[in-house]
Structure 1
Amino acid sequence: MGARVVVVDDDETLRALVQRSLENEGFTVTLLSSGSEVAERLSLSIPDVLVLNAVLPGMSGIEVCRQVRTNGSTHRLPIILLVAGDNGDERLVALSAGADDCVTKPFNSAELVIRVKNLLRRVNPNLLEHMVKVGDIVLDREAHRVHRQKKEVRLGPTEFKLLEFLMRTPGRVFSRSELRLSLWGDDATVDERAVDVHINRLRKGIGLGKADNVIRTVRGAGYALGDF
C-alpha cells in the first residue's frame, strides 16, 4: 500500500494524468472533482497528502485549505495547492491559507510527484522507506515480510496491509470505518465487522503465541498500534 494522496481538480484530463503519474510511483490515489467533496472524504479517512486546485467549482481550494487548517483532526495534513502560473497573488494567498507547497499550472506531472515525495520526506519519511520499524516490529514493503523480535511473522495479505497502515502512525486510534476504507476502499459490500476479524488474525500473527497489547482496542473509538 503506497502513501495515500487525494487529488481535487475539476479538469478530468488533468486528474487522470496526475493519477497515472502518482500510481506509477506506488501511491494510492483518490480523485475528487470539487471542493465541496473534500470534507466528507476527510471524515471517512485522512490521506497522507492533499493536492487541490486553488480554483474549484463551488468551494475554492483556498477555502478548503483554510477549513482543513482549522479542523483539529486535519490541521497537520500536508497540502499542495495548484495555482495559476500567471497569478503571483494567488500563490501568496495559497501559502497564507496554510498550503505547505504550491505548484504552478501548467506543470509537468513528474514535478508534482517530486513535490509530493519531498513533502512526505519532511513530514513522514517512513511512508517512502521500504523498511519500516516500530518498536520490535519490522515490516519490509518490498519483500512483503514482517519480523518481530527477529522472528519472521506469517501474515495474510490483508493482515499485512492492515499492519502497514497502523505502523504509519503508531499510537493513533483509527475507527473501524477508517480501517475498512484503507483495506477495501469504497466497497460497500464489506461490513465494518470484517475489520474486527482481521484485527484478531493480525493479533494472533504478531503475538508470537502470547497475548499482549501491541494492538490496543479503544472502546467506542477503534484500534491503535501500541505507542512504543
Structure 2
Amino acid sequence: MQIVDLLVTSPPSFAAAEAAPEGVELRIGRLDRVVPGDGPLWVALDWALEGESGVERCRALRADPRYARAHIVMLLRDDSVDQARQSLAAGANDVILGPLSPESLHRLLDETLPRQVRTEIGSRLQHGPLLVDTDAIQARWNGELLQLPLNEFRLLHFLGRNANRVMTRSELISGLGKDHHPVDERTVDVWVARLRRALKRAGAQDVIRTVRPLGYVLDLD
C-alpha cells in the first residue's frame, strides 16, 4: 500500500478514502499543522488565503526544503488562464477549478502517482553526466544532486529518455501526462526555465537548447 500525504489549506468536504486510487492510502492534514512524511507529498492550495495569496504561499513552499519536491495543486477561484499561468509560474504542478472534489483529486492521483512512484521502479537513466534514478526519485549532474520538484524531475527524465532529439511543447505536455488538462503550451516554457535554473546550480550550462519555433532538446554527448 502506497501512502500519500495531502496537506490542504482548507479541509475538504469528503473523506480521504473517497479520493484514493486503488493501492493508495491517502492521508489528509492541514498545511502548517502536519510534518511532511517520507512518502509522496501533495499540497492543495486555495487561490485566496487569509492574509496572503495562494501564489505567495506556493513560492514560499518551493523555497522551503521540506516542500521543494511536493506536488502542488492550485485550486483556482475562477476558470482563468491568467490565474493558471501565475500558479504554474510560482511553482504549482497542476491547476484545477476549486473547491477540491473527490473526483478531481482521484483523477490527478491516478494519472500522476504511477509516474512518481509506481512505475519504472529500480530504473536508472545514465547518459553522460546525467543520472536519473526513478526509484529514489533523484537526479544528479556529475554527481551533484539536483534540487527538483516532481514536475521538473519528470520533465528531466522525459528529456533524458529522448536526449539529442527535439521535443515539441505538445510532446512534453503529453510526456508529463498533462495532455488531459487545459495547459497552455507556453506553460512548458515556465517548466523548462525552472529546470534550466536547477541544472545551472549544479554546474550544467546550456544543456537544454531552444529550437524555435519547435520546442526544446536536451543536448548530451
Give the alignment's TM-score, normalised by structure 2. 0.45
Give the alignment's TM-score, normalised by structure 1. 0.44
Query: Higher helix fraction: Structure 1 or Structure 2?
Result: 1
